[in-house]
């Protein structure tokens, strides 16, 4: 199961620098608007200390972490929804993502121009949100016109759709985001999902700061990251990086902080499999049942699911693997209704 995070912001706020830090992928970075035209894509391994510990116990030949896909999307400007700058082609790239990382510039640098003149992160946030809201408004108005015709023809589903669309239009006209609206009923939430609105996606705010800010600060759900520093750290060998972070008293790199926040906002959990062949991390949405989790490994496992052997990863490591965990009664047998928990070490029994 793959998850895609779009990195957005105005031009020259440090999106591509952050992307480089996240992916360790060399891409073109220049001091002018619209350097990024086609979206850069990087598949990033999710750091997970549990994997190495499990692999030692199982004497695994291979360790395979789970991944998240990051997409560096070109800078938005005022009236992008009307075709300004590079226009709607970039809005379509955002639509394909599961969540948005919104990069806001907080650093001062006279050598790096700002398309709006002065640095003002909150103003930039308002511009981005207005552009996304106006793009969604176009989608809603188009669908509203169709739903009104279908409702007149007596279609009951369209009546439900109309109520949702009218509420959306009202809020978007005010410049509000779809993810700020609380929907009470499942059918309303399903309609929102099907509309695939830009402003319905979860948003992670990343303030790109300079050395005057604490680079690991998390406040009010936002991340404060020194993208320039993170890009430099990404170039260091792993051992040297750990020493450097320890010296700076930084617990997590920008990548790790963003991964953690991405998991949180997408409501994801990780379960683990461990044996001699490999130790591996797998990702599912919180609340996923055991057959669904098995299906992440192989789609045929959903239909063929029999039961799952489950052991918390800490206990697995503590006692020394499956055999001893079973002897001590630490392995549970779970059926089709079991909800997978973060950190579960699982062995699935299936009919193949």
Asked if 233 contacts 253 with a C-beta cutoff of 8 angstroms, the reply is yes
Percent of the chain past pLDDT 70, that is, above it, reads: 88
- For residue 45, name the pLDDT band (cuts at 50, 70, 90): confident
Q: What is the spatial distance between Cα 219 and Cα 292, in angstroms, rounded to a whole number?
A: 35
Q: What pLDDT score does 29 carry?
A: 44
Q: What is the spatial distance between Cα 189 and Cα 139, in angstroms, rounded to a whole number?
A: 17
CATH 3.40.50.12160 assigned to 287-350:
no
Say which CATH class 4-200 falls into: mainly alpha
More confident of the two residues 172 and 110: 172
- Decide if 4-200 and 287-350 have a common fold: no
Over residues 175-201, the mean pLDDT reads 89
Does 213 have pLDDT greater than 90?
A: no
pTM over 0.95: no
Q: Where do runs of H (alpha helix) occur along the chain?
A: 15-23, 49-58, 88-95, 121-152, 156-173, 186-195, 227-233, 238-248, 254-266, 290-297, 300-304, 313-319, 322-327
Q: What pLDDT score does 23 carry?
A: 81
Q: What pLDDT score does 32 carry?
A: 44
Domain ranges of the chain: 4-200, 287-350
- For residue 299, name the pLDDT band (cuts at 50, 70, 90): very high
Measured CA distances, 277 to 47, 141, 316 (Å): 20, 54, 17
């Amino acid at each position: 199961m793959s998850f895609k995070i779009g990195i957005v912001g105005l031009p020259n706020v440090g999106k591509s620098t952050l992307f480089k830090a996240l992916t360790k992928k060399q891409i073109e970075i220049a001091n002018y608007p619209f350097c990024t035209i086609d979206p850069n894509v990087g598949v990033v391994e999710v750091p997970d200390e549990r994997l190495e510990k499990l692999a030692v116990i199982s004497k695994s030949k291979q360790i395979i972490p789970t991944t998240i896909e990051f997409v560096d999307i070109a800078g938005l400007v005022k009236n992008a929804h009307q075709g300004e700058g590079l226009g709607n082609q970039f809005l379509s790239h955002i639509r394909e993502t599961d969540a948005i990382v919104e990069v806001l510039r907080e650093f001062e640098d006279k050598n790096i121009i700002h398309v709006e003149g002065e640095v003002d992160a909150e103003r930039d946030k308002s511009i981005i949100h207005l552009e996304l809201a106006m793009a969604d408004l176009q989608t809603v108005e188009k669908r509203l016109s169709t739903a009104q015709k279908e409702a007149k023809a007596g279609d009951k589903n369209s009546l439900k759709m109309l109520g949702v669309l009218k509420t959306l239009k009202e809020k978007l006209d005010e410049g509000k985001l779809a993810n700020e609206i609380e929907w009470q009923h499942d059918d309303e939430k399903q309609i929102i999902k099907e509309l695939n609105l830009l402003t319905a996606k979860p948003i992670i705010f990343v303030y790109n700061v300079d050395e005057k800010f604490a680079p690991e600060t998390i406040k009010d759900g936002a991340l404060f990251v020194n993208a320039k520093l993170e890009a430099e750290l990404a170039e260091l060998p792993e051992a040297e990086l750990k020493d450097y972070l320890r010296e700076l008293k930084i617990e997590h790199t920008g990548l790790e902080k963003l991964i953690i926040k991405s998991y949180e906002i997408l409501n994801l959990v990780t379960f683990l499999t461990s044996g001699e062949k490999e130790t591996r991390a797998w990702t599912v949405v919180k609340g996923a049942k055991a057959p669904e989790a098995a299906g992440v490994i192989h789609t045929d496992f959903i239909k063929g699911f029999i039961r799952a052997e489950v052991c918390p990863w800490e206990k697995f490591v503590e006692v020394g693997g499956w055999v001893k965990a079973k002897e001590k009664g630490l392995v549970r047998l779970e059926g089709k209704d079991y909800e997978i928990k973060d950190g579960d070490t699982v062995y699935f029994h299936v009919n193949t």
